[in-house]
A and B are shown apart, each in its own frame.
Chain A
Amino acid sequence: MNRKLQNNLFYASVGIAVFVCSLILLFLFGIIIWNGLPALSLDFLTNTSAEFGASGGIVYQIFGSILLIIFAALICLPIALGTAIYKSEYLKNDTVHKIINTLIYSLNGIPSVIFGIFGLIFFVNILNMGISWFVGSIILSMMILPTVTLSTYQSINSIPTVYRESSSALGLNKWQVIVQVLLPQGFSGAITGLLIGIARAIGETAPIMFIATAFSGVEFPSSFLEPVSTLPTHILALAQQATNPAALQNAWGASLVLVILVIIFSISALFIRLRHQTISKR
């Protein structure tokens, strides 16, 4: 086979791969929009659900999902920042680096249902905290911790050494170098990681369904220790009543809202990353 033909074949096969990938994505989005759009209305977004979701709206579910991920982000960010700074600026020992990396990757590889079971056993059974949205936030923060930590670490660690040296040569101590030079430049990495993590966490059902959510009868929580309802668990509940066309319709509607939320987070992450790249290239 001559090289030119080989080249063209390769080009064609990657082209087909891209085409198939886009097709699957378009097909999925198409179906969700096609089925979900008829359910969507202002009433659907602002009303509470009734008849186990078969009628009414999903305002509590939207609220519950956003509450869970906001607190997950708040819990995760300081831990991720601390770990990333320690790993990048203080830790010299290669073995400890490898151990921490292994832990982070292992945490990332744990199936999400295991997080749910862990939460159930540890927080609900042993600590006896009951079914609570806050426990859900803690569990979700553990799930997104690896993504946020690695993303923050990469952005801090990739800041050229000359910035560290130039600022410490001016008499800044290590702490000032970290706060004044490294964190401002590394922050976009943390936020990008956080948004990617959130985009994943908001769609998770398994880790929160045993510990943080109830399927009906929830309202706005008035304390940390009450259950909420969320979009993914609501969709699960509606899918179980699939014989009822009204419930199915609302399941599609809720799915569309969830997908839109995920897309918002993913695109913001992409946007922040691109913006930061153009700044650092200038």
Chain B
Amino acid sequence: MAEKVIKPNLSVVGKNQKEIIEIKNFQVWINENHILDDIQLSIPKNEITCIIGPSGSGKSTLIRSINRINDDVTGLNTQGEIIFNGLSINEKDVDVAQLRTQIGMVFQKPCVFPKSIKENVLFGIQHLKKLSKLEKLQIAEENLKAVSLWKEVSHRLNDKAISLSIGQQQRLCIARTLAVKPEVILLDEPTSSLDPVSTRAIEDMMVKLKENYTIVFVTHNIQQAKRIADNLVFICDGKLIEQGPASIIFSCSSNPQTKAYLRDEYCDC
């Protein structure tokens, strides 16, 4: 008897915990162009969700809607809902800056500020709360270690961040996003301007980070998605073609468009 009562409760709790972001009937127009068409998507917690699709298909537009960094694009209109932790993020009274501390983002090209390495790690967090000198050093060390940059830069934390290689700069950008302690990290083709070694380093890092973070990772590189994705989302021409566990889609997708894209990296939808 007791078991019967507990079981359904557990599954309800389990389901609620699993999905951290729900995207419902989401549409985007830029000026008169229909960029995203009726996107339905759920993003599970503590997993890596890879969004793949040909260039121009709307991957960036979708991921940039999740932290509302698209707000400043002129002529952009949206319809539908994005729900994060039960909160509909496009409501008028949402504090966007606060939302972005919970949903961090890493961009395609690393963009470090004209400051030192340490100041770059602290750049976001120090505007959110007052930090002592010791705390600053601890935060810098903790997050640089999380992106495996600590060994390389610990002796020159006060050097200009611009003196790092592009791959190191991108890891620094991830570190400064982690320092804010978000729940979700959005990454928009973060390795597309990097060398293969840095790319692998970031892929390995993602797999470690998913223990504590939910990761949404846009890539146009199918092999990369194969290496890291728990879930796969395939977008083509503004439409969501297929979503589901990566292992299933890669091994036995029944959708002809997905199959064609995974085989030829090309699709005519």
Contacts and interface: CB of A to CB of B under 8 A. Distances in A.
Interface of A: 92, 160, 162-173, 176, 180-181, 184-185, 279, 282
Interface centre among A162, A163, A170, A181 (most CB of B within 10 A): A170
A164 B72 contact: yes
Contacts of A162: 107, 109, 111
A93 to B, nearest CB: 10
B107 A170 contact: no
A170 B176 contact: yes
Contacts of B69: 165, 168-169
B107 A176 contact: no
Contact of A167 (B67, B109, B114, B123): B123
Given A165-B69, A171-B180, A181 B113 contact: yes
A137 to B, nearest CB: 34
A169 B101 CA distance: 8
Nearest to A161: B72
B107 A166 contact: yes
Contacts of A172: 97, 124, 127
B134 interface: no
Interface string B114-139: 10000000011001100000000000
B162 interface: yes
A167 B180 CA distance: 12
A168 B100 contact: yes
Nearest to B128: A171
B28 to A, nearest CB: 17
Given A162-B109, A176-B127, A181-B113, A170 B74 contact: no
Contacts of A185: 114
B109 A171 contact: no
B111 A92 contact: no
State which size class the interface on B falls in: 20 to 34
Given A164-B72, A176-B127, A180-B127, A169 B114 contact: no
B216 interface: no
11 contacts: A92-B74, A163-B111, A165-B105, A165-B111, A169-B107, A170-B176, A170-B177, A171-B100, A171-B101, A171-B127, A171-B128
Contacts of A173: 96-97
A186 to B, nearest CB: 12
Interface in B20-76: 67, 69, 72, 74
**What 10 pairs across the A-B complex have the smallest Cβ distances?**
A170-B124, A171-B101, A169-B105, A173-B97, A162-B111, A166-B111, A171-B100, A171-B97, A172-B127, A165-B69
Given A165-B111, A166-B107, A173-B97, 9 more contacts: A162-B107, A162-B109, A163-B111, A169-B177, A170-B124, A171-B97, A172-B124, A172-B127, A185-B114
B173 interface: yes
A172 B101 CA distance: 9
Contacts of B74: 92
B104 interface: yes
Nearest to B124: A170
A165 B180 contact: no
A180 B104 CA distance: 19
Nearest to A164: B72
Nearest to A279: B114
A167 B67 CA distance: 13
A169 B100 contact: yes
A282 B162 contact: yes
Nearest to B64: A165
Contacts of B255: none
B79 to A, nearest CB: 21
Contacts of A167: 113, 123-124
Contacts of B67: 169
A4 B64 CA distance: 54
B75 to A, nearest CB: 10
B98 interface: yes
A282 B113 CA distance: 12
Contacts of B98: 171
A171 B111 contact: no
A166 B110 CA distance: 9
Contacts of B105: 165, 169
A170 B128 CA distance: 10
A88 to B, nearest CB: 12
Contacts of B162: 282
Nearest to A174: B97
B87 to A, nearest CB: 16
